[in-house]
Structure 1
Amino acid sequence: MADKCHLCLLGLIFLSSLLTGTSGVDDIHVFISSGENVCLPCNNDPHDCKSTTWIYNNRHSAAVELIGLGIKKKDTEKHERLSLGSDCSLNIKNITKEDYGSYSCQQYVDGQHYKEADARVYLHVLHVSPSSSQTEISPGSSVSLSCQLYSSYTGISCDGWIRSEGYQLFWVNQTGVKLTISDSRYQISAPGYCILTLTTTLLNEDDNREWRCQVTHRNQVKTSATYTFRKPAPVDIKPLIPVSSSNSETTSRQTPAAAPEQGSSSLSHISREILIVLKTAAFAAPTVILLQIICARRAERKDLQHQEEIMMNTVLE
């Protein structure tokens, strides 16, 4: 029964390719990893980009017009990341996993849609991320990395298409060596053809180590997404500054520490008073000496006058 379903799936894909071939334009498959920029070609030889319209669609949403007759639509979620190239190609910046799906380049001349000139581009996005339940990534902890290819083709699921076309997902180390389940350090599981998980315990020497997930087709790498482990930076622990507390024990311990400050304050006050006295004495000393000289001279004058009076009285007698 499974073989019949597989044959039926292959028949649908073959029939789809025949129907696409009748338009004279081959479908294009572009593989890209999330976070990168991509350019989707419009291979229908447009004469003027003013006649070009880009339509986006995936199996989970209705068709959305991104570019209408050469003008970017502003009511779309991704309009800020879109631009139209000089050759009418569609440029998308910072690809996300939600950008996967089909992009159709259509031509309108004199208001008429020339379906035979439509060019369809299928965008397949590869995304790698730690498990959503991962709370700490540091040496000694276990980390699970999920690699998933987001893809759809003519309504067929990613698992069905990648299996029928012979695409494969692999985990490789930073030297490009394929990781296998035979390595006891790694546990690799595949919940589906488009999902591949890698679980390992981190070591100190894993700092700046890369693990890369690849999409290959007939031994040719279509795209890859890398996860790099970096040890968290050490946290600086600042010394705690004691804070005064209302606790009586804490207060009693802090009281002796305040005594030297009071003593130093008293000494400082006494020193200032002595300095004032010395300054006053230095200023008053010359004044005292001058007064003493004046008083001495006055005394001498009185003595002279007294002697003169005595001599006069003696002469008169």
Structure 2
Amino acid sequence: MLPCRDESSSSSCSDVNWLYTKDPNAQFRTEAQNGKVVQSSVGASRLSVSSNCSLFIRNITDEDAGGYICQLKNKNDAHLVLNTFSISSDPPEVHPRENGSFTLLCSLNRYDKRIPCKENSIIWRDERGSHLTGEAVWFEFRGQTNCVSVLTVKHQSGNNKRITCQFIEDNKEKIKAVYSLNFSDLLTIDLPGHNFILMVGSVVKVVLMFLGLVAALIYMYRRRTKENEEQRTRTKRRTVDGDEDDL
């Protein structure tokens, strides 16, 4: 929620406009006018103006990072900056690669990208708070490039990890993001479950077809045997009848 005016203010929001720009060099666009969200706005479905005229953004994404202005009639504009901080996987859907590892990216998406992130300002920690650097049994720190830090996680069956990524500025934690790793789930994803099910289904189908073929052969064999026996019986009877006529 981006604040616009004092919480104690009882005035209506009919005199409030919200403006937004993704880039400092770009023009601002109107997101809310006279206290109401502009429906033609790209993110209109996720925006709302609260009772105290703050701009509420649901399900914030990197696309929401930018500069915001709250305009109040006969008052100074309120300028705000929204930066986003997140952990994502590469590729987007986490799954172990052939070597049993995958990559996590911890990113600070700044409104003003001209402001660089200092070296080692984005750090990784495990559930015990230990700084993850260098290489160990289950991870490898790949370094930080500007505002993106990269950590490769090595798959270990049966172990779960909770990784925290922190953004440090002036020796203080400004923001953090937490990522939970369930290696059991990753193992499940790693196995070709659907292919396995299809393969089992195919095997069952082949077995059923084989059993059906055997049953058909047995049926045909018994039928043919019965027909042969009936034919021999008829032949024998004709022979006996012929002998009786001769007598």
Calculate the TM-score normalised by the size of structure 2: 0.70
* Structure-1 residue corresponding to 2:230: none
> Which among 142, 147, 171 is matched to residue 188 of structure 1?
142
Asked whether the equivalents of residues 2 and 54 of structure 2 are also in contact (C-alpha less than 8 Å), the reply is yes
Where 2:32 maps in the other structure, the secondary structure is strand
RMSD: 3.5
1:123/1:133 Cα in 2 relative to 1: closer, same or farther (>3 Å)? closer
1:167/1:138 Cα in 2 relative to 1: closer, same or farther (>3 Å)? closer
Listed as ranges, the matches of 1:234-245 within 5 Å are: 235=193, 236=197, 237-238=200-201, 239-242=203-206
Which is greater in Rg? 1
Bigger shift: residues 174-183 or 129-138: 129-138
* Structure-1 residue corresponding to 2:80: 121
1:83/1:261 Cα in 2 relative to 1: closer, same or farther (>3 Å)? farther
Listed as ranges, the matches of 1:149-298 within 5 Å are: 149-153=108-112, 157-159=114-116, 162-163=117-118, 168-181=121-134, 183=136, 185-192=139-146, 194-206=147-159, 208-230=160-182, 231-232=185-186, 233=188, 235=193, 236=197, 237-238=200-201, 239-242=203-206, 255-259=216-220
Asked whether the equivalents of residues 40 and 90 of structure 1 are also in contact (C-alpha less than 8 Å), the reply is yes
Runs of 4 or more above 6 Å deviation: none
Provide structure 2 residue ranges, at least 5 long, that are not aligned to the other structure. Answer: 228-247
Asked whether the equivalents of residues 67 and 73 of structure 1 are also in contact (C-alpha less than 8 Å), the reply is yes
Q: Distance in 1 between matches of 2:19 and 2:100?
A: 45
Provide structure 1 residue ranges, at least 5 long, that are not aligned to the other structure. Answer: 1-38, 109-113, 267-317
Q: Which has the higher helix share?
A: 1
> Which among 66, 79, 94 is matched to residue 59 of structure 2?
94
Residue-pair matches, total = 209
AA aligned to 1:241 is K
AA aligned to 2:181 is F
Q: Distance in 1 between matches of 2:218 and 2:89?
A: 55
Calculate the TM-score normalised by the size of structure 1: 0.56
State the Cα distance separating 1:50 from its structure 2 match: 0.6
Q: Distance in 1 between matches of 2:123 and 2:217?
A: 72
Listed as ranges, the matches of 1:61-140 within 5 Å are: 61-108=26-73, 114=74, 117-132=76-91, 136-137=95-96
State the Cα distance separating 1:63 from its structure 2 match: 1.5
Query: Percent identity between the aligned chains?
Result: 22
* Structure-1 residue corresponding to 2:4: 42
Q: Distance in 2 between matches of 1:48 and 1:253?
A: 83
1:204/1:140 Cα in 2 relative to 1: closer, same or farther (>3 Å)? farther
Bigger shift: residues 222-231 or 254-263: 254-263
AA aligned to 1:123 is L
